[in-house]
Amino acid sequence: MFKFGVIAEGASDQLVIENILVGYFQGQEEPSITFVQPPPASVATPSPPGGWTRVFDSLKRGDCQQVLQFNDFVVIQIDTDVQEEPGFDVPRREGGSELSLPDRVARVIARLKRDVEPEFCTAHEHRILFAIAVDSIECWLLPLLYVNNKAQKTTGCLDAANDTLRKKKMDGLSSAEGTKFPRAYERASREYTKQKSLTKHRSRNPSLELFVKQLDDLQGRLNASQNAAPQEPEDVSRTDENSATEPPGQ
């Protein structure tokens, strides 16, 4: 059983990541998933604070290092909708032109790595996965809600998701005032707990596909490690009777 810790913007993001991990590893032992930032709700803190600034705060205080003491892997999630805000500081344009989506994701990953202790990050980069949602995690839900090109949207995804959910007489992801409902995110992403569905829809949203490709790489490394496990050495203590020779002088 693989153990994952999740550092994310909010509880809603964590639940989407959890469903994707469960679906990806379906058929294997279900992974154990621990929510690190924000921590799980409790009586004392029924709604733990979230937000993109808390992702960076979490990395700066060493949560990534602590997570990997008790887990096999850590997933760091963040949205790109405010990537140019002070404190985030990742331009989305260069030379007046919008960067390609893969370039934007790569630059956000590089920015996140800056707040993880460099030597640690280098030594454990094979255990760190980055869930960079362009422009928001709601965009990863659209392949489950739309059969047309809206599944590939990278902006306005919350409104698009709410619109189709309400047309289907289902709970929206958020209120009119912007309050998000984590359990609605869990329900909307539940289809991803089925590996067949995740495989079908992963490529229909470009930043979702980039995250799942990291899981592909992880699975590939794990398979290679298992295949490279040393085989049981041949027992050479037994003498082949057919090759035995008489002692000299007889």
Beta strand extents in 8-58 (DSSP E only)? 32-37
Query: Does residue 133 have a pLDDT over 60?
Result: yes
Q: Is 76 domain-assigned?
A: yes
Q: Which domain holds residue 211?
A: 3-136+202-222
Q: Is 180 domain-assigned?
A: no
Helical spans, DSSP H, in 25-170: 52-60, 63-70, 101-114, 118-123, 142-145, 157-167
Q: Is 126 domain-assigned?
A: yes
Q: Is 213 domain-assigned?
A: yes
Phi, psi of 188 (to 5 degrees): -65, -30
What is the pLDDT, as a whole number, of residue 49? 81
Query: Does residue 244 have a pLDDT over 60?
Result: no
Phi, psi of 204 (to 5 degrees): -85, -10
Q: Is 120 domain-assigned?
A: yes
Query: Does residue 3 have a pLDDT over 50?
Result: yes
What is the pLDDT, as a whole number, of residue 222? 87
- Mean pLDDT computed over every residue of the chain: 91
Distances (CA, A) of 198 to 25, 65, 83, 183, 213: 11, 30, 27, 19, 12
What is the pLDDT, as a whole number, of residue 153? 95
What is the pLDDT, as a whole number, of residue 245? 47
Q: Is 156 domain-assigned?
A: no
Residue 83 and residue 103 in contact, taking contact as beta carbons nearer than 8 Å: no
How many Å apart are CA 39 and CA 49, to the nearest integer? 9
Q: Is 64 domain-assigned?
A: yes
How many Å apart are CA 228 and CA 215, to the nearest integer? 20
How many Å apart are CA 100 and CA 227, to the nearest integer? 37
Q: What is the pTM of this model?
A: 0.89
pLDDT in tens, 155-185: 999 999 999 999 999 999 999 898 999 999 9
SS3 content of the chain, % helix, strand, coil (to 5): 50, 15, 40
What's the total number of domains in the chain?
1
CA torsion sign for 50, 193, 212, 229 is positive
CA torsion sign for 189, 191, 192, 198 is negative
What is the pLDDT, as a whole number, of residue 234? 54
Query: Does residue 242 have a pLDDT over 70?
Result: no
How many Å apart are CA 199 and CA 89, to the nearest integer? 33
Distance of CA 185 to the CA centre of its chain: 16
- Tokens representing residue 52 in the block: 């993109």
Q: Is 172 domain-assigned?
A: no
What is the pLDDT, as a whole number, of residue 249? 47
pLDDT in tens, 179-235: 999 999 999 999 999 999 999 999 999 999 999 999 999 999 988 888 876 655 555
Torsion of CA 165, 169, 171, 177, to 10 degrees: 80
Distances (CA, A) of 244 to 57, 124, 236, 247: 72, 53, 14, 9
Query: Does residue 238 have a pLDDT over 70?
Result: no
